[in-house]
Structure 1
Amino acid sequence: MSRLPLDQIDAFVTAARMKNLTRAAEAMHLTVSALSHRMRLLEERVGHKLLARGPRGVELTPEGQRLFDAVATPLDAIGHALQRMSARNDHVITLSLIPSMATAWLVPRLPDFLAANPELGLNLQSSTHVVDFDREPVDMALRLGGGRWPGVRAEHLFHEWIQPVASPAFLKRHGKPALARIGSLPLLGDPSDRWKEWFAEFGGEAPRRFVAQFDDTETLHQAAAQGMGVALARLTLAEPLIKAGRLVPLTGKCLQADFAHYLVYPERSLAHPDFQTVRKWVLDQARVDA
C-alpha cells in the first residue's frame, strides 16, 4: 500500500464510534453517500467488510473491530500531538465553518466587528471537514445539524429555511409557474432530498427523475444560478446569489429545513480571554436572522 487513506480511516472511525452513518456524515459535514463512498474505498483497500447494518444502525464486523482497535487510538494521538505543537496566541480566536457559510453569512459581517475590536484576531478555518476539538486547536465552530454533538456545548443560532429558486434566464425560458406546478419544471436534486417534503406540504408532484443531482449545497446553488433547473435552496447560503439577482425565489412559501445553525465549542474555550467577545457577537448577529 502507498499513501495512507487518512480521510477514509477518519470516516471509518467516526462511523464506528457513532454507530450511525447519518450522524457520522453530519459530524463530518459530508453527505451519507460521500461517507459511504469513503467506506467502500477503505473496504476495497483492506479486502474485508468493516461495517454491517444492524437493528440500531451499523456495527463493526470482526475485521472492522480489529482495524478500529488498531487505528482509533493512534489517530487520536496524532490529533493531540498536533494540538500540543500548535502555537497559541491568546488574542486570536480560531473559528471553523464550512466555506459557503463563511462567504454567505460570516464574512460580510466581519468588518464592523474587527474595526470595533482591533486588538482581537479572528482566524477563520473554512473547510467542509468537521472540526475535532480534542485533536485540533480550534476554539469554536459554526455547524449545521441537529444540535447534538458529544463532548461540546451547542448554542442554537437560527433555523434554516428552504425555498425553490431559479435563475432569471431559466424563468424567462420556462415562465414562473403556480406553486402546485413547480414539479412540471426541470428540477435539481438536493443533498438532503427535501423535495418530497416540499410537495407533501405545498402540493404538486415530483418528477420521475431530476435533471441532475448534487451531493453538496453550494454546487447545487451554483448549478441553479447557471440556469440548469430549479433548486431547493438553503436560504442562508443562497442569500448572496439572491441579492445579486442570480437566483430568484419562485414563491414566498418556505419550508423549515431539517437542520439548524449552531455555535459549537468545547468547555476549554471558556477560559480563553477573548472567547466571550466573539461568542456574544455571533449570538447577536444570529438574532437578526432568527
Structure 2
Amino acid sequence: MTPAPESDAATKESLPLNAIRVFVTIAREESVTRAAQVLGITQSAASRHLAVLERHLGAKLIERRGRRSSLTDFGKLFADAVGEPLDAIAFAVQRMRRSRTDANRIVVRTSLSTFAYTTLIPNLQAFSEEMGATTVDLVTSLSAPTLTEDYDVLITRDLRVTEPSDHWELLRENIVCVGAPELVAGRTLEFAKSAPMLTVTSRPDILPRWLTAMCMESGDIQIGARYDHHYLALPAVTTGQGLLVAPEILVSRLVNEGLVEVLAGSRTLSGMRYRAYAIDRSGNPDLSRIFCRWLVRLCRSALAGKITCGKHDMIKGD
C-alpha cells in the first residue's frame, strides 16, 4: 500500500486543541515567554506546542528575528480566526462548571492587595459566620479581568466593568500622611518637609497628588526608603522609619490601635473611588450581592474606627 502523503496524514491527526490554546495566548501576549508564564508552563513546553501546531497546519505561525519574534501573516489570520471561538468555549465551560459548584461559596477578585490584607481578610470570618459558613475564595491580580475568568465579585479602584453587573461604591479614597506616634505627636504639616518620606512604587500617583493638595513640591521633602506595595511599607512606618502617604482605609486599623498617627492637616481626597461589582454571570448572584452590601458596611465601619482585629459592629442590617 502506498503511504499517504504527509499533508493527508496531517489532516487525520487529532486536532491539537492544547497547542491552539497556547498559540492564541502567545499571539495575545506577543511573547512565548510571557504566554508560558500566563499558562503556568515552561517556555520549552510552549515552544513544543507551537511546533506541533505549525506541523499540523503546514505553515509557520511565528517568525523569529534574533531575540525578537512576531506573527507571520498566516499566524495573524489564524489567531483572528480561532481567538474568539476559543474564548466562547472557555466561557461556556466556566458557566457549566460553576453551575455545579458549592452554593455557599464565591470567588472575589481584586487588584487591591493591601486593602485585602488590612481590611478584607481579617473580617471574612465574620461574614462567613453570618452567612452560615460561607467560603470566600480571594484572588489578587494586577491584570485587567476578562470574560473567561472564574470570579463572582470584583473589587476595583477607578476601574469600570463593562460586562453586565450590579455595582456599589465602597468609598471615595482619602489619602493621609501617617507616622509612628512618637515621631508625629504634636507635629504640624511642616514636619513633612524634614522627615524621611517612604514611597510605594505600585502607587506612584499618591505622593504627587498629596503634595499638590498640600501646596508642596517634590523638592520640599526628603525621599526615604522605597517599597513595592503598601503592605510592605506599613511595618516600616509603624517602627518609626519615616512618614508615609497612604489611602486612609489602609491605615485606619493601625490608627485605631494607636500604632500610627495622622499628621495634622494632611488629609485630602485622591479623586479615586473603590467599587465592588457583582457579576451577572456569577454562579451565586444573590450571595455575591449580599457580599457587596456587606463590604460597603465594612468600609464605613473601618473608617469610623468601629472594627479592630477583624471584629466589627456593623455586620447585620443593610
TM-score higher than 0.5 here?
A: yes
3-state SS of paired residue (2:172)? strand
Deviation at 1:198, TM superposition (A): 2.3
Distance 1:200 1:47, change over 3 A: same
Matches within 5 A, 1:1-290: 4-6=33-35, 47=68, 69=80, 76=87, 80=91, 83=94, 84-85=96-97, 88-97=101-110, 98-118=112-132, 121-129=134-142, 132=145, 134-144=147-157, 146-153=158-165, 154-168=167-181, 171=183, 177-190=187-200, 191-207=203-219, 210-269=223-282, 272-288=285-301, 289=303
Deviation at 1:269, TM superposition (A): 3.0
The answer (yes or no) to whether the contact 2:105–2:137 under 8 Å persists in 1 is no
3-state SS of paired residue (1:228)? coil
Equivalent AA in structure 1 for residue 287 of structure 2: D
Provide the aligned length of Structure 1 versus Structure 2: 241
Deviation at 1:273, TM superposition (A): 4.4
Deviation at 1:158, TM superposition (A): 0.9
CA RMSD in angstroms comes to: 4.2
The answer (yes or no) to whether the contact 1:95–1:122 under 8 Å persists in 2 is no
Aligned-pair identity in percent equals 21
3-state SS of paired residue (1:277)? helix
Q: Distance in 1 between matches of 2:262 and 2:89?
A: 46
The answer (yes or no) to whether the contact 2:109–2:151 under 8 Å persists in 1 is yes
The answer (yes or no) to whether the contact 1:96–1:131 under 8 Å persists in 2 is no
3-state SS of paired residue (2:107)? strand
Tell me the TM-score normalised to structure 2 length.
Answer: 0.59
Distance 1:4 1:165, change over 3 A: same
The answer (yes or no) to whether the contact 2:193–2:222 under 8 Å persists in 1 is no
Equivalent AA in structure 2 for residue 104 of structure 1: T
Deviation at 1:149, TM superposition (A): 2.7
Distance 1:265 1:74, change over 3 A: same
The answer (yes or no) to whether the contact 2:168–2:277 under 8 Å persists in 1 is yes
Tell me the TM-score normalised to structure 1 length.
Answer: 0.64
Distance 1:236 1:70, change over 3 A: farther
Deviation at 1:49, TM superposition (A): 9.3
Equivalent AA in structure 2 for residue 139 of structure 1: D
Equivalent AA in structure 2 for residue 125 of structure 1: L
Structure 1 partner of 2:8: none
Distance 1:7 1:179, change over 3 A: farther
Deviation at 1:127, TM superposition (A): 1.8
Distance 1:125 1:113, change over 3 A: closer
**In terms of Rg, which structure is larger?**
2
The answer (yes or no) to whether the contact 1:131–1:141 under 8 Å persists in 2 is no
Deviation at 1:230, TM superposition (A): 1.1
Q: Distance in 2 between matches of 1:163 and 1:69?
A: 47
Q: Distance in 2 between matches of 1:116 and 1:251?
A: 38
Q: Distance in 2 between matches of 1:71 and 1:45?
A: 28
Q: Distance in 2 between matches of 1:71 and 1:176?
A: 64
Deviation at 1:68, TM superposition (A): 7.5
Q: Distance in 2 between matches of 1:45 and 1:166?
A: 51
Structure 2 partner of 1:28: none
Which runs of 5 or more residues in structure 2 are unaligned?
1-30, 40-64, 305-318
3-state SS of paired residue (1:135)? coil
Distance 1:229 1:74, change over 3 A: farther
